[in-house]
Amino acid sequence: MIALIDNIKTLLNKGDTLPFSIYSSIHEQKILNVPIAKPLLIFVLSGVKKLGPNDDIICQTNDFIFLSDSSSINMRNIPNDDEYFALLIEFDYNDFKDIPLSNSNKKDYFIGQNTDPLNQCLQQFIECYKWATPSILTSRKKEILTLLYALGYTDITSMMDNNKISHKVHDIIHSKNFIDINTQTICKQLLMSESTLRRKLKSEGTNVQKIKDSAKLGLGLHLLQTTVIPIGLIADQCGYQSQSRFTDRFKQLFGLTPSELRKTKMTL
């Protein structure tokens, strides 16, 4: 585990774009309403992660949690004596297509423990980014899913729900680099009328504006956790015309300001 963390930190220091994310802190983070747009695998390599409205989902060091897409979930990242350190890998729905289908109902999450085979698979995935093409990285991600299934985590396929219109809307917004696009453009790409889009999204408990806000603020949360980009520039990248507006919306959704979140990653 220590070797895996050291290897990741070496890569982070190089400043390259990586096919995974690292969330770390030296002070506790309590973040409300974290959006999960796609299936997300989180390996807790140091510290403790608690999820849910009452912290009833607990991941200790060396545990992992696989989250399905959800509108939001509360999270607490709690450092041990040194830090909180987690590896995050996001999956596309096509990554699951070679996994045997499950007859069980869709699940919101499942928890497991890192093992030597899984640890080796992660090491290979982390190290191959230096030379791998996008198609090879996709194959490596599929390899992780296949291994999880082989290790007995057959619930993995019950977490997919790739027929949601909200997923497709989110992907369109993401493809436009989170620039605010109008509903007409989204409808044109989905080949459906505005009334049909509104009806389908309403049945999923959302609408276009909610998806836009979640996508933009989710990007802001990700950039605050994984970069040292100034908050004002993050606000601009997320499509907000002012840092104060970004800060207000960020705190309204996540329960803390961008500055407060950044301080959890710094020595006070």
pLDDT tens-digit map of 238-257: 989 899 999 999 999 999 99
Task: Report the pLDDT value the prediction gives residue 32, as an integer from 0 to 100.
Answer: 97
Q: How far apart are CA 83 and CA 63, in angstroms?
A: 16
For residue 103, the model assigns a pLDDT of: 62
Structure confidence at residue 267 (pLDDT) = 65
CATH number for the domain spanning 54: value is: 2.60.120.810
- Can you read off the two tokens belonging to residue 142? 């599929």
With 90 as the cut, is the pLDDT of residue 106 above it? Answer: no
Domain count of the fold of the chain: 2
Q: Is residue 268 part of a domain?
A: no
CA distances from 181 to 3, 5, 170, 212, 225 (A): 44, 39, 11, 9, 26
As given in the structure block, the two tokens for residue 150 are 């082989």
* Helices first, then strands: H and E counts in the chain: 10, 9
The confidence score (pLDDT) of residue 268 equals 52
Give the tens place of pLDDT for each residue, 6-26: 778 876 766 667 889 999 999
pLDDT of residue 102: 65
Which of 98 and 115 is assigned the larger pLDDT? 115
Is a pLDDT exceeding 90 seen at residue 164? no
Q: Per-residue confidence at 232, pLDDT binned at 50, 70, 90?
A: very high
DSSP state of 171: H
Same domain, 6 and 83: yes
Q: Which element (helix H / strand E) includes 31?
A: strand 29-36
* Shared domain check, 99 and 228: no
Instruction: Report the CATH number that the domain containing residue 258 is assigned in CATH.
Output: 1.10.10.60
At which of 159, 181, 211 does a domain end? 159
Distance of alpha carbon 191 from alpha carbon 155, whole angstroms: 33
If we measure between CA atoms, which residue out of 142, 27, 42, 154 comes closest to residue 93? 142
Question: Which is it for the CA torsion 74, 143, 175, 14, positive or negative?
Answer: positive
Query: Could you tell me if residue 240 is inside a domain?
Result: yes
The boundaries of the domain holding residue 140 are: 2-159
Residue 97 shares a structural domain with residue 222: no
Percentage, residues of the chain above pLDDT 90: 64
DSSP 10: H
d(C-alpha 171, C-alpha 169), whole Å = 5
